């Protein structure tokens, strides 16, 4: 077991010496777990995630519809996106320990409907109901910067909720709201 670990370290070192900087960053990102804090339940979780890997029941539970205490099976592409996002944040802020504050993960159709009935801005066909969307903030960077970094990924929808201090990301079609005006000044 010890020898296997040592061999793993040696291979990692060899990989880092041979690999391009981009591949190195990718490699390092894979080893870095996703760290979350749920602002509604006050729970914390650290999730190792590799591209395409299914989401664990623990992580599904963490991202549950907290109003109804109801989890779903989150789309693994959402965690692929968050890994890419974390990687992109690291590139701009190498010394920052990225943590995603979760405002909303899964929303059941019942919760989504009642929020809409209460005058909320939730979409009728919200991807939160499909486990394909998450509303997040990252302590240490502004909501605007988080929006810009997420936009540069071109990995799905990006919603900017400036007043509420969060960014919605999803793995649906690439689209931006409430305005696309910022795109022309964005340098990725
Ligand atoms: Zn959202």
CA–centroid distance, 149 to ligand 1, in Å, is 17
Asked whether residue 13 is domain-assigned, the answer is no
CA–centroid distance, 117 to ligand 1, in Å, is 17
CA distances (Å), 73 to each of 55, 129, 169, in order? 7, 10, 17
CA–centroid distance, 134 to ligand 1, in Å, is 5
Question: Looking at residue 19, what DSSP letter applies?
Answer: S
Average pLDDT of the residues in 183-187: 95
Could you check whether the bond before residue 178 is cis, i.e. omega within 30 degrees of 0?
Answer: yes
CA–centroid distance, 113 to ligand 1, in Å, is 14
Asked whether residue 39 is domain-assigned, the answer is yes
Instruction: Give the 3-state secondary structure of 87-107.
Output: HHHHHHCCCCCCCEEEEECCC
Query: How many domains is the chain partitioned into structurally?
Result: 1
CA–centroid distance, 17 to ligand 1, in Å, is 40
Asked whether residue 42 is domain-assigned, the answer is yes
CA–centroid distance, 74 to ligand 1, in Å, is 14
Average pLDDT of the residues in 113-117: 95
Asked whether residue 117 is domain-assigned, the answer is yes
Beta-carbon count within 10 A of 64 CB: 21
CA–centroid distance, 128 to ligand 1, in Å, is 6
CA–centroid distance, 98 to ligand 1, in Å, is 20
On whether the CB atoms of residues 49 and 81 are closer than 8 A, the answer is no
Asked whether residue 147 is domain-assigned, the answer is yes
User: What is the average pLDDT score of the chain?
Assistant: 88
CA–centroid distance, 160 to ligand 1, in Å, is 9
Name every residue whose Cβ is closer than 8 Å to that of residue 29 and which is 6 or more positions away in sequence.
83, 84, 86, 87, 90
pLDDT band at 10 (very low <50, low <70, confident <90, very high): very low
Asked whether residue 124 is domain-assigned, the answer is yes
pLDDT at residue 78 greater than cutoff 80: yes
Asked whether residue 10 is domain-assigned, the answer is no
pLDDT band at 3 (very low <50, low <70, confident <90, very high): very low
Dihedral, CA atoms, 148, 122, 54, 76, nearest 10 degrees?
A: -30
| Domain extent for 98 | 24-185
CATH code of the domain containing 83: 3.30.1380.10
CA–centroid distance, 20 to ligand 1, in Å, is 35
Asked whether residue 96 is domain-assigned, the answer is yes
Distance of CA 135 to the CA centre of its chain: 8
- Is this structure's pTM higher than 0.85? no
Beta strands 34-38; 100-104: pairing state: parallel
pLDDT at residue 11 greater than cutoff 90: no
């Amino acid at each position: 077991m010890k020898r296997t670990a040592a061999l793993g370290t040696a291979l990692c070192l060899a990989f880092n010496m041979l690999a391009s900087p981009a591949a190195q960053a990718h490699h390092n990102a894979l080893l870095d777990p996703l760290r979350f804090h749920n602002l509604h339940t006050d729970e914390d979780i650290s999730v190792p995630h590799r591209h395409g890997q299914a989401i664990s029941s623990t992580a599904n539970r963490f991202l549950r519809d907290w109003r109804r205490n109801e989890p779903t099976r989150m789309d693994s592409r959402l965690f692929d996106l968050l890994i890419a996002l974390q990687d992109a944040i690291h590139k701009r802020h190498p010394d920052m320990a990225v943590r995603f504050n979760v405002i909303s993960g899964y929303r059941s159709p019942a919760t989504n409907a009642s929020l809409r009935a209460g005058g909320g801005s939730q979409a009728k066909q919200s991807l939160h109901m499909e486990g394909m969307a998450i509303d997040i903030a990252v302590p240490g960077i502004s909501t605007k910067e988080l929006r810009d970094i997420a936009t540069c990924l071109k990995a799905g929808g990006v919603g900017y909720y400036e007043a509420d201090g969060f960014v919605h990301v999803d793995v649906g079609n690439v689209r931006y709201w409430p305005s696309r005006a910022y795109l022309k000044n964005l340098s990725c």
